[in-house]
Amino acid sequence: MSADYVLETQNLIKEFKGFTAVDDVSLKIQRGHIHALIGPNGAGKTTVFNLLTKFLTPTSGKILFNGNDITSMKSAAIARRGVVRSFQISAVFPHLSVLENVRVALQRKEGNSFHFWKSDKVLNRLDDRAVELLESVGLGDFAGAKTVDLSYGRKRALEIATTLALEPELMLLDEPTQGMGHEDVDVVADLIKRVSKDRTILMVEHNLHVVSKLADQITVLQRGAVLTEGDYESVSADPRVQEAYLGVAADEVQA
């Protein structure tokens, strides 16, 4: 019944001491879609992400992944199931090399991550696959570089390569183009488009240009609750959305 939907939330609520950050949010993420979560600052987008990946525990409500209830699972377990997230601040391992960043992700499935008596040379057999992934995001030439020396845009690309290494069924991207110059924005947007083939992506994004280009489906959040849903045309035409973004009454905008 829910085969069409990779991820579903049912009446998700998160309260912080008297303040409801996420208020009765029911999302349905269709398989193969790029689904964007937008809304003004403080609308609860990142909180929703934290709930979905259990970095926060919901006050009430349910999270279903492929129809299975994952509400009570731990963060790392959810990641192993195939829901892998990125972070608003670029999530890389700055003092590892670019190649090692991807390899740490590939390493998990090897089952030797507790083997402290083995040489890390056993990881070298993952190098080819890691380089392949780096090439797929245009970082093939940077494999040996120290991650901290990369430009911001390249760090985000590396983050995507690392996430792809886990072959996630669902990727959650938290503001992938935040803080970038417009050239980098287009590069990353193209990259997301490319990697979205055969997988589902849920992204929080402020840049409406990127959203219009990528998203198949958009959910607008305001003050923690779902304001409206639909494709870009219908959502951007909605007077309530314009009001939420511009802070003025809809009829004033039209006038």
Partner 1 sequence: MKISKLYIGLLGVALVAPFVMYPVLLMKILCFALFACAFNLLLGFVGLLSFGHAVFLGTGGYVTGYLMMNTGLTPELGILGGTVAAALLGAIYGKLSVKREGIYFAMVTLALAQLMFFVFLQAPFTGGEDGMQGIPRGYLFGLIDLSDNLNMYYFVLAVFLFGFWLINRTVHSPFGQVLKAIRENEPRATSLGYNVNDYKWVAFIISAALSGLAGSTKTLVFQLASLTDVHWHMSGEVVLMTLLGGMGTIFGPLVGAAAVVGLQNFLSGGELGNYVHIIMGLIFIVCVLAFRGGIVGEIQKIVKRNFG
Q: Which two tokens stand for residue 218?
A: 């958009």
Report the SS3 class of residue 172. Answer: strand
Smallest CA-to-CA distance from 55 within 226, 100, 63 is with 63
CB of 48 to partner 1, least distance (A): 15
CB of 53 to partner 1, least distance (A): 7
Question: Going residue by residue from 113 to 132, which x/- string records binding to partner 1, judged by CB under 8 A?
Answer: xxxxxxxx-xx---------
Compare residues 122 and 237 and give the one whose CB is closer to partner 1: 122
**Under rule CB under 8 A, residue 103 binds partner 1:** yes
Residues in CB range of 11: below 8 A, 6 or more apart: 24, 25, 26, 60, 61, 62
**Under rule CB under 8 A, residue 145 binds partner 1:** no
CB of 115 to partner 1, least distance (A): 5
Q: Which segments within 81-188 are labelled E, that is strand?
A: 83-85, 170-174
Instruction: Out of 13, 64, 104, 145, name the contact with partner 1 by CB under 8 A.
Output: 104
Cα–Cα distance measured from residue 159 to residue 146, given in angstroms and rounded to the nearest whole number: 14
User: Side chain identity at 59, as an amino acid letter?
Assistant: T
**Under rule CB under 8 A, residue 107 binds partner 1:** yes
Compare residues 33 and 85 and give the one whose CB is closer to partner 1: 85
Nearest 5°: phi and psi at 20? -95, 105
CB of 199 to partner 1, least distance (A): 16
Compare residues 80 and 213 and give the one whose CB is closer to partner 1: 80
Mark the segment that binds partner 1 (CB under 8 A) among 57-65, 69-77, 132-140, 216-224: 69-77
CB of 81 to partner 1, least distance (A): 9
Q: Please provide the DSSP assignment of 33-80 as one string.
A: -EEEEE-STTSSHHHHHHHHTTSS--SEEEEEETTEE-TT--HHHHHH
User: 96 and 104 in contact (C-beta within 8 Å)?
Assistant: yes
Tell which positions 75-94 bind partner 1, by CB under 8 A: 75-77, 79-80, 84-87, 91-94
Residues that bind partner 1 in the complex, under the rule CB under 8 A: 53, 55, 74-77, 79-80, 84-87, 91-96, 100, 103-105, 107-108, 110, 112-120, 122-123, 162, 166
